[in-house]
Chains A and B, each alone.
Chain A
């Protein structure tokens, strides 16, 4: 008995070293790669650092960067672009992805092959997606304008017009990421137990009633997860837009990330860009919290 206690005590002391050993790499990386950079970013945002101006990193300006950003139109313009892009992209992704998931769930023949093809859209690098779609949008000989002209609709340079560039980019994002929603919702569907449906049928519920009152509420976790992931990702889209328009024409597709990139690496105003990054982090945090709240409240009503 005593021997065992002593043995356990020794183990516990040895454990302390092991905890340190096991946690150290991840914690060190975390501090170095996320916590320290966030604090560093906050610090930079109070200075007037321009990469091309030596010594400017020591010029303390307080909140001036934030004041300037909020005063000038470009930030609000980019925020508006980002929100429009995110809203419509996420909306269509959710509708199309969920519909595809329900289709896949019907035990159709060949569904698993289709699933592999559908998922392949997600593993393609965004920069490649952008390149391929830019080609299809080409006003001279791109496929999309060709199809439109066959259908009798006049083609247009979708990516070069301020009025069409955002919808054109949203189409690409929806194409690329609806499969993700499909995969998540399908997993949610497969996780539901078939008995629930059976008892609903026994109780005489119609298909539509079953869908609204049973399937959807049970799918809530999967829907919430895909909604949150998609919102965060659409909000931070960079690669595809950069490859297709670079934020143009003019500034008509310059979302927050492109604006931040240009500010930091085209105009070298890293302090200003750091302030923008922090502001946009606040915005997306608020949006996600709101989504979460709305879902939670509905849950409360249902009970």
Chain B
């Protein structure tokens, strides 16, 4: 059910909002056990909210999202609800405040029915790295839904909510949207406040909608976009009329086709399908412009250096001291004592250089505080998060900073310039969203580099800070959906929405 369908039903009086909520509750109760998208539901709260919103509908004072039932990715803070980022380290943590986007959704009468699964701290491309277990693709439950907003995408694909919010740091909205056959919009960096979005990589993270169609994405963006004094990186720029752009799409747009995005590694069927779409758009009045984005090939490497660097710092606060998981203190103290004792005995027994080395080791032993940090974090973080914290720590370390972080920042600027130049010539740039359709659960878990390559078409938009959308492009012979991506210059969301709408209209 799309937003306009839901709204039409409740505003016409055909159904009460309560019935819509109940319908979703039923759907969640029947399907979620298998899909594993929702990790927390608040049915009672949703029903109570439905009553209030219904009253406003009856009074004629309801907001723009009255009738809409949404799931929220488990890293966007909702007051007094668990916010765990699918991580053990935030076990039992409830946010004490609402994220700005949550405030804005509530103010427009959206009903927030629950929290949805994700890759731990948004790090992953399959939604398999979650303390709640993997999410399954509703199109084929042997397949991954994509990630990190896999729960957000699966929820919409399984119609367990009207729409969801996800976050996109390197493709985490667009790639799962592609795998699940729905629409995912990554707004421009700074268009939507990040206040209350648990940070993975602060200079990349964007909140955006996942929805059944382009218009729904526009309707949600319209509510969540705009300056926020609590986020100094949010833009003062006025919002555009996103819904109008979708409802009145221009056909004579200039579409840049970058050679670099249609090369090796791309599934042939996906390639052909996108080419077909482009021919049809051209026939409808669009102009196809071959372009070059020469630094694209450095995108993945640059992204994984910069994003992990920021993550290593952003995740330092999870130390088990003030909230979240803390290792058992008594066990830790006992363990330290035993280690110290064993080492002391070794020192006593040793001679010469070995003794000196052991003495040094003894002197360098962890303080109880340091050990508590280490144990809490070792227990609390999953393997992928640890991998990225280590990568990020490494690239910022003395002696390596210039070679990695410093260089990656320079490449980021080159990639930004590629796009800047391209957008002088075209309205949007087209590409596949991901090189393949969804793959089997567990298939790439042992090969992080293969996993990272899934982001090949999506990361550069985050590096450049521009906006992008993934729209369903077709169904593969393997029965799975895949998406087409449009990117536009910063704050040109209307252009990607417009292009996305044109693709929808081809069907």
Are A and B subunits of one complex? no
Q: CB within 8 Å of B: which residues of A?
A: none
Measuring CB to CB, which residues of chain B are less than 8 angstroms from any residue of chain A?
none
